[in-house]
Amino acid sequence: MTVAIHVDHLTRKFNDLIAVNDISFEIEQGEIFGLLGPNGAGKTTTLAMLSTMLKPTSGSATVNGMDIEHNEDGVRKSIGIVFQDQSLDEELTAWENMDFHGRLYRIPGEVRRQRITELLDLVELVDRKDDIVKTFSGGMRRRLEIARGLLHRPAVLFLDEPTLGLDPQTRNHLWQYIATLNKEHGITIILTTHYMEEADRLCNRIAIIDHGKIIALDTPANLKDGMGGDVVTIKSSDPSAIIEALKEPWVLRVEQHDGQVIISLKNAEQHVGTIVTLLNREQIAIESISIHKPTLEDVFLSFTGKTIREEEADGKAAMRMYQKMTRR
Ligand SMILES: Nc1ncnc2c1ncn2[C@@H]1O[C@H](COP(=O)(O)OP(=O)(O)OP(=O)(O)O)[C@@H](O)[C@H]1O
Ligand SMILES: [Mg+2]
């Protein structure tokens, strides 16, 4: 196995704010690696440092064996980037956008034309190659951006929120492209997302990141297995009483969250009956009860005590407060 990306105690501060806080990890060649976390977790900042667009405050990293601070050009040539903010020229056609990028990377004319055709074919935009980007849907733009990011044949592709704001069908379609690029073209992919399901389905390994820290890193299967088997969620007006009533050896972990009790246990179907009996005996009313296999949302909740959506809501609340303060 060859290491594609090596990250060593990487940190980035913006004044007092620590956006990325001492993270370390390695990505193998050929992996699809996901950075999963809520708004403001530090995902884009991490990718920006790894793609040499932003200097680290401390720590170091190599991409394809090259140091991000001491060999910026080498790193840039060996990576493709599709960032969160759109960067296509709206007034140019799909072909012209590709061609411009190819010239920037000094890809000779004939090779350039051939690759542009190949890549537009890959993302199914050949038919629209002479249309200006202004007329493209969100999904078509994303696909064009990905095709453009691949034009100089990078070994590693950085995708920052590749599916943000797209409808479910287009998102699915894009996942397939990403998987194909990885499988058939051997491209190492590092992507960020806050869609749990996307990370789960697409990534070989996931680093869950929150407040600039990596709080868990493993394969999706291992992360979910770490929860201990099954999850039973009970809704009730008295969650604390449930926790008290369920002090049983087969209960691996109990968490209380937002009026719900979340219980991790093995073989839930064998215990649900007992749970109901125990709660009846204590005369605790159950509003609802459900069993499911752990999801990455459960993993995030168990590590942070919050759901990803709540983290995001908190961030937005802080932002509104900030806007109010600065408006005065
Ligand atoms: N140029 C900057 N100047 C000041 N603060 C910044 C800058 N860039 C990012 N930050 C802050 O660093 C933190 C991490 O931001 P970052 O964009 O990396 O998060 P993210 O995980 O990509 O979030 P999102 O899911 O919203 O894209 C945030 O608190 C953000 O406000
Ligand atoms: Mg971001």
Pocket test for ligand 1, best of 45, 86, 311 (most atoms within 8 A of CB): 45
pLDDT confidence of residue 310: 73
By the 10 Å C-beta count (0-12 exposed, 13-18 middle, 19+ buried), 108 is classed as: exposed
Cβ atoms of residues 217 and 208 within 8 Å: yes
Q: Is the CB of residue 39 below 6 angstroms from any atom belonging to ligand 1?
A: yes
Cα 307 to ligand 2 centre (Å) = 18
- CATH number (2.170.16.10, 3.40.50.300, 3.40.50.2000, 3.30.70.20) of 3-219 reads 3.40.50.300
The residue type found at 269 is E
Question: Same fold for the domain at 3-219 and the one at 228-293?
Answer: no
Q: How far apart are CA 306 and CA 69, in angstroms?
A: 36
Residue 326 pLDDT class (50, 70, 90 cuts): low
In whole numbers, what is the pLDDT of the chain averaged over residues? 90
Domain boundaries, the chain: 3-219, 228-293
**pLDDT exceeding 70 applies to what percent of the chain?**
95
Residue 315 pLDDT class (50, 70, 90 cuts): low
The residue type found at 112 is R
Ligand 1 atom nearest to CA at 54: 1
Cβ atoms of residues 51 and 79 within 8 Å: yes
pLDDT digits (tens, 9 = 90+) for 192-209: 988 888 899 999 999 999
pLDDT confidence of residue 265: 92
pLDDT confidence of residue 249: 92
Q: How far apart are CA 150 and CA 40, in angstroms?
A: 27
Average pLDDT over residues 89-108: 95
Ligand lying closest to the C-alpha of residue 42 = 1
pLDDT confidence of residue 328: 42
- CATH number (3.40.640.10, 3.30.70.980, 1.10.150.530, 3.40.710.10) of 228-293 reads 3.30.70.980
Cα 19 to ligand 1 centre (Å) = 6
Ligand lying closest to the C-alpha of residue 211 = 1
Average pLDDT over residues 99-126: 93
pLDDT digits (tens, 9 = 90+) for 12-46: 999 999 999 999 999 999 999 999 998 899 999 99
Nearest-CA residue for atom 18 of ligand 1:
42
Nearest-CA residue for atom 1 of ligand 1:
14
pLDDT confidence of residue 325: 52
pLDDT digits (tens, 9 = 90+) for 133-145: 999 998 899 889 9
pLDDT confidence of residue 162: 87
Average pLDDT over residues 144-149: 91
Ligand 1 atom nearest to CA at 42: 18
Cα 45 to ligand 2 centre (Å) = 7
Average pLDDT over residues 104-127: 93
**pLDDT exceeding 90 applies to what percent of the chain?**
67
Ligand lying closest to the C-alpha of residue 159 = 2
Q: Is the CB of residue 37 below 6 angstroms from any atom belonging to ligand 1?
A: yes
pLDDT digits (tens, 9 = 90+) for 225-260: 998 889 999 999 899 999 999 999 999 988 888 889
Closest CA relative to residue 301, chosen from 238, 215, 225, 192: 215
Q: How far apart are CA 16 and CA 228, in angstroms?
A: 38
Average pLDDT over residues 79-108: 92
CA distances from 309 to 31, 39, 164, 300 (A): 27, 9, 15, 11
Q: Is the CB of residue 19 below 6 angstroms from any atom belonging to ligand 1?
A: yes
Residue 289 pLDDT class (50, 70, 90 cuts): very high
Ligand lying closest to the C-alpha of residue 160 = 2
Ligand 1 atom nearest to CA at 209: 21
The model carries a pTM of 0.86
Nearest-CA residue for atom 27 of ligand 1:
39
Cα 65 to ligand 2 centre (Å) = 25
